[in-house]
């Protein structure tokens, strides 16, 4: 195969690939991107931006309570990591991770309701990393 | 003793700087007077790092809490196995381990005959890059991340988090580091041969470092697979991959190295893509450092709270410098190669496959960094959830498997080498897709991936019909790895979209249903084992009238970790559905809340993963590392 012919074919294949992947990425970026916010940032933005959002914060040392009689669910205050005065009440109905406890850093994904409560679809606690020891009793 | 260990690290740093500096000085003068000295220095660097590592292991074994590191990651009741493997449990130790694996790799290469076949110019360049990496590690170890910081010894240490006391988690980090470190020697040699301009006089770098490539890639793969398995078995959420930044970070070097291994086949056979391969192998090493940067710097929020950010800046500088060297060398070093045949050829398809793998790496990189990137135009950062990755990355991964299935039946230069086999492959993929569709599996990506996997199995069966294959460990290794890919693909294609789970609240004797399975709580048991108290739910699982078995998920409270409860999942394994049970807790009325999941074909992922890690090792028994391949013979008949 001549050099020019082969290059053209590769170019066509590359453009097709680029087009397909570009479309996939474009639709993915526009439809699946959500706001990543600390609690204080979430408190500062307008309510319309909080319909689908990922929040980073710390579980309050008080007020964390299991929903009555249901280990698979919890209501807790999520505080900003740097400013505990900034907090949001979070309600979560799924399985609570092992490492969830007051003072734990957590990530919640969900949306803010009209009552000012955040309903989380997912609740993740920070992994018990080998590279830090703050998450231990010490 | 710990002052001595720190001194060893400092002397290693001095040796690495001196070695690299002397080599550069000789290159600048166009001489090689100091080469013998430069080549002896690595013995000292490796010996010093071995000594420092031995001292750390000694301290871990003997509970020497005078060392802050030992007190931070072990305690008096930690079994000796976990105590010793705490060597890489913290940032400082893991950096030392990585440095040691790089140093040992360099020494093994230096001790091999391969080094002697190189010209002095290439050897000097090789040591420049190699010592740069060693110097970087030892700079970190002597400044930001020293494992030999002493303190007034406490009575007991902090202990290792129970979630991490799992064989999967013990071997996951060192395998990743061995993988990362293993690519260092090939990368340094690739750059060295390009910069010395002696490539035509020497055996190609990828042939000389073939054992490194063939060990590093399976080690990296094993590290990733073990990490996924640990998450599945230990964390209790029922998944194995969450597209978290830290997980994504390990995929970057894996994707680039996988692409590189394939384009190296093209160079090996036909002498093409030489500069591309140099760039790819160096990018592999650079991306390994970048992965560490993502993990340790805290630049993106992750569920993994790794690192305190202290090594973020030096890693950034090193990664940027590496990237610059890689790109400059690749685009300016040596003349362009021969033209590549069209996409209808094996070499063309391999090149496209490599492009898709690189595109995957690029997409994952951009998506992972999206919260940072989006800050350039918005004050409110945006990120991407798992849906994005599943939507964009999984179809591309399925296309890679399709391409891999077609490769064996195409000639290197173009056209089909066995038209019947190619037609059979297409028929096999169409029939399996139709069968899956009729069986109700209609998710597009899963359907494409599963039919492509069946194509890979078809390839393997057809190739194995040729008895001569059994005399070639190299071919068997490659075939086994691709069969592994097929099984992994099947595992992901089914366990991903077709899993189901149900949270059940059960009193003793009560049952819950999930799909065609019934779970009945037989009883609740509690008690004490060394180091923790536990409560277990004994649950019988039936499919119709047939008893499948018992699952006994537990919740544990460890003595060292306060009121925190840890879940211990249990499974009923199967080649079809796997039953996965995780005990969520107890309500106020002596009922258990348990998550029962059905995971179709998930074990094929682990079986395929094991094949992917182990079978490529057969290639080590193939062609000797220094012997030329057909491509080189074509270009250099005298070789």
Whether residue B3 is found in the same domain as residue B107: yes
Contact B237 A97 (CB under 8 A): yes
Choose between B490 and B622: higher pLDDT.
B490
Q: Chain A closest CA to B345's CA: distance in Å?
A: 10
Assess if residue A29 is contained within a domain.
yes
SS3 A35: strand
On the question of pLDDT at B404 being above 60, the answer is yes
Residues B381 and B518 in one domain: no
Q: A50: distance to nearest CA of chain B, Å?
A: 11
Residue B411 and residue B385 share a domain:
yes
Residues A48 and A2 grouped into a single domain: no
CATH at B145: 1.20.120
- Is A55 inside a domain boundary? yes
Q: Are residues A73 and A23 in the same domain?
A: no
A20 and A69 together in one domain: no
The CATH number for A119's domain is 2.40.50.140
Q: Provide, as residue numbers in chain A, all residues whose Cβ is less than 8 Å from the Cβ of B380.
A: 35, 37, 41, 45, 49
Task: Examine the domain organization and report whether A42 and A26 are in the same domain.
Answer: no
The rounded distance, in Å, linking the Cα atoms of B147 and B9 is 10
- What mean pLDDT is predicted for residues A82-93? 86
Model pTM score: 0.89
- Helix H or strand E segment including B526: strand B517-529
Residues A68 and A113 in one domain: yes
Domain that holds residue B311: 166-335
Q: How far is CA B107 from CA B11, B13, B160, B243, in A?
A: 17, 16, 33, 37
Contact B211, B252 (CB under 8 A): no
* Residue B452 within any structural domain of the chain: yes
- Distance, in Å, from the CA atom of B72 to the CA atom of B52, rounded to the nearest integer, reads 18
My answer on whether A38 and A99 are in the same domain is yes
Asked if residue A6 and residue A45 are part of one domain, the reply reads no
Lowest mean pLDDT among B257-266, B277-286, B312-321, B473-482: B312-321
Q: Does A75 lie in the same domain as A39?
A: yes
- Residues B42 and B156 placed together within one structural domain of the fold: yes
Residue A8 lies in a domain: yes
Asked if B158's CB is within 8 angstroms of A98's CB, the reply is no
**Across B69-78, B370-379, B623-632, which has the greatest mean pLDDT?**
B69-78
Query: Does residue A107 share a domain with residue A60?
Result: yes
What is d(CA B417, CA B595) in angstroms, rounded to the nearest whole number? 52
**Position A131 in a domain:** no
What is the C-alpha separation between B70 and B531, in angstroms, rounded?
A: 19
Number of compact structural domains in chain B: 4
**Residue A119, in any domain of the structure:** yes
Give B632's pLDDT tier (boundaries 50, 70, 90).
very low
Query: Where are any strands of DSSP class E within B303-416?
Result: 382-384
Same domain, A44 and A25: no
Q: Are B350 and B407 in contact (CB under 8 A)?
A: yes
Position B627 in a domain: no
Model-level ipTM above the cut of 0.90: no
Of B320, B335, B350, the residue at which a domain comes to its end is B335
Are B180 and B321 members of one domain? yes
pLDDT band at B612 (very low <50, low <70, confident <90, very high): very high
- b/e per residue A44-72 (b: at least 16 CB within 10 A): eeeeebbeebbbbbbbbeeebebeeebbb
A138 within some domain: no
Instruction: Verify that B516 and B581 share a domain, yes or no.
Output: yes
- In a domain, residue A137? The reply is no
Residue B342 DSSP class: P
- A49 and A114, same domain (yes or no): yes
Inter-chain touch A138–B164, beta carbons under 8 Å: no
pLDDT tens-digit readout, B150-206: 888 888 888 877 767 777 777 888 899 899 999 999 999 999 999 888 888 888 999
Chain A contact set for B587 (CB, 8 A): 69-71
If phi > 0 it is left, if psi is from -120 to 50 it is alpha, else beta; for residue A117 that is beta
**CA of A57 to nearest chain B CA: how many angstroms apart?**
11
Q: What SS3 class is residue A108?
A: strand
Residue B476 lies in a domain: no
- Asked whether residue A47 is domain-assigned, the answer is yes
Q: Are B477 and B618 in contact (CB under 8 A)?
A: yes
Range of the domain at A17: 1-33
> CA B141 to CA B163: how far, in whole Å?
27
- The stretch B393-409 carries a mean pLDDT of 94
The pLDDT tens digits of the residues spanning B62-100 come to: 999 999 999 988 888 888 888 888 888 888 888 899 899
Same domain, residue pair B454 and B436: yes
* A63 and A94 assigned to the same domain: yes
């Amino acid at each position: 195969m001549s050099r020019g012919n082969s290059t053209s074919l590769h170019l066509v294949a590359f453009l097709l690939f680029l087009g397909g992947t570009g479309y996939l990425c474009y639709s993915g970026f526009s439809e699946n991107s959500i706001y990543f916010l600390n609690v204080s940032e979430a408190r500062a933005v307008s309510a319309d931006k909080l319909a689908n959002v990922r929040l980073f914060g710390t579980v309050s040392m008080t007020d964390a309570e299991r929903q009555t009689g249901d280990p698979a669910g919890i209501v807790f205050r999520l505080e900003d990591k740097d400013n505990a005065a900034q907090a949001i009440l979070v309600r979560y109905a799924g399985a609570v991770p092992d490492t969830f406890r007051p003072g734990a850093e957590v990530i919640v994904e969900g949306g803010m309701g009209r009552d000012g409560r955040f309903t989380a679809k997912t609740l993740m606690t920070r992994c018990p990393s080998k590279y830090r020891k703050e998450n231990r009793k010490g | 003793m710990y002052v001595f260990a720190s001194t060893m690290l400092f002397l290693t740093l001095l040796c690495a700087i001196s070695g690299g500096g002397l080599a550069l000085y000789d290159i600048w003068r166009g001489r090689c007077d100091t080469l013998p000295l430069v080549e002896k220095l690595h013995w000292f660097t490796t010996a010093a790092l071995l000594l420092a590592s031995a001292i750390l292991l000694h301290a871990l074994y003997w509970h020497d809490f005078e060392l802050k590191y030992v007190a931070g990651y072990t305690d008096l009741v930690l079994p000796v196995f976990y105590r010793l493997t705490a060597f890489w449990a913290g940032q400082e130790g893991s950096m030392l381990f990585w440095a040691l694996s790089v140093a040992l790799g360099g020494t093994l290469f230096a001790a091999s005959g391969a080094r002697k076949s190189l010209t002095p110019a290439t050897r000097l360049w090789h040591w420049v890059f190699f010592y740069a990496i060693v110097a970087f590690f030892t700079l970190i170890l002597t400044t930001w991340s020293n494992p030999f910081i002493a303190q007034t010894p406490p009575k007991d240490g902090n202990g290792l988090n129970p979630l991490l006391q799992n064989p999967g988690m013990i071997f996951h980090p060192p395998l990743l580091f061995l993988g990362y470190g293993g690519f260092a020697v090939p990368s340094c040699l690739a750059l060295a041969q390009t910069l010395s301009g002696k490539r035509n006089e020497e055996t190609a770098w990828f042939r000389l470092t073939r054992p490194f490539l063939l060990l590093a890639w399976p080690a990296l793969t094993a590290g990733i697979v073990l990490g996924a398995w640990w998450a599945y078995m230990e964390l209790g959420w029922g998944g194995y991959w969450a597209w978290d930044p830290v997980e994504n970070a390990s995929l970057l070097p894996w994707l680039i190295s996988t692409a590189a291994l394939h384009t190296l086949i093209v160079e090996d056979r036909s002498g093409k893509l030489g500069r591309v391969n140099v760039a790819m192998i160096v990018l592999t090493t650079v991306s390994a450092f970048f992965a560490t940067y993502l993990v340790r710097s805290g630049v993106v929020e992750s569920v993994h709270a790794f690192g305190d950010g202290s090594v973020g800046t030096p890693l950034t500088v090193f990664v940027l410098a590496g990237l610059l060297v890689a790109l400059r060398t690749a685009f300016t070093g040596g003349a362009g190669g021969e033209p590549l045949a069209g996409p209808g050829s094996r070499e063309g398809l391999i090149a496209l496959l490599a492009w898709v793998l690189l595109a995957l790496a690029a997409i994952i990189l951009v998506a992972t960094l999206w919260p940072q990137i989006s800050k350039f135009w918005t004050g409110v950062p945006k990120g991407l959830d798992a849906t994005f990755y599943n939507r964009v990355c999984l179809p591309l991964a399925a296309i890679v498997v399709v391409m891999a299935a077609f490769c064996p039946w195409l000639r290197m230069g173009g056209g089909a080498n066995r038209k019947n086999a190619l037609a059979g492959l297409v028929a096999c993929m169409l029939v399996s897709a139709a069968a899956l569709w009729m069986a109700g599996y209609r998710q597009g990506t899963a359907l494409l991936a599963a039919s492509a996997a069946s194509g890979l199995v078809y390839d393997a069966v057809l190739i194995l019909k040729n008895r001569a294959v059994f005399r070639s460990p190299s071919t068997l290794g490659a075939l086994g790895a691709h069969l592994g890919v097929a099984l992994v693909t099947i595992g992901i294609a089914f366990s991903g979209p077709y899993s189901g789970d149900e949270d059940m609240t059960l009193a003793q004797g009560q049952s819950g249903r999930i799909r065609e399975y019934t779970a009945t709580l037989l009883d609740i048991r509690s008690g004490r084992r060394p180091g923790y108290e536990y409560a277990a739910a004994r649950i019988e699982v039936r499919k119709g009238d047939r008893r499948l078995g018992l699952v006994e998920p537990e919740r544990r409270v460890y003595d060292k970790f306060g009121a925190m409860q840890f879940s211990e999942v249990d499974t009923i394994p199967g080649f079809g559905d796997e039953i996965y049970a995780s005990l969520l807790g107890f309500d106020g009325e002596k009922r258990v809340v348990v998550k029962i999941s059905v995971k179709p074909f998930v074990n094929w992922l682990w079986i395929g993963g094991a094949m992917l890690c182990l079978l490529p090792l057969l290639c080590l028994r193939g062609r000797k590392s220094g012997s030329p391949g057909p491509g080189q013979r074509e270009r250099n008949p005298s070789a």
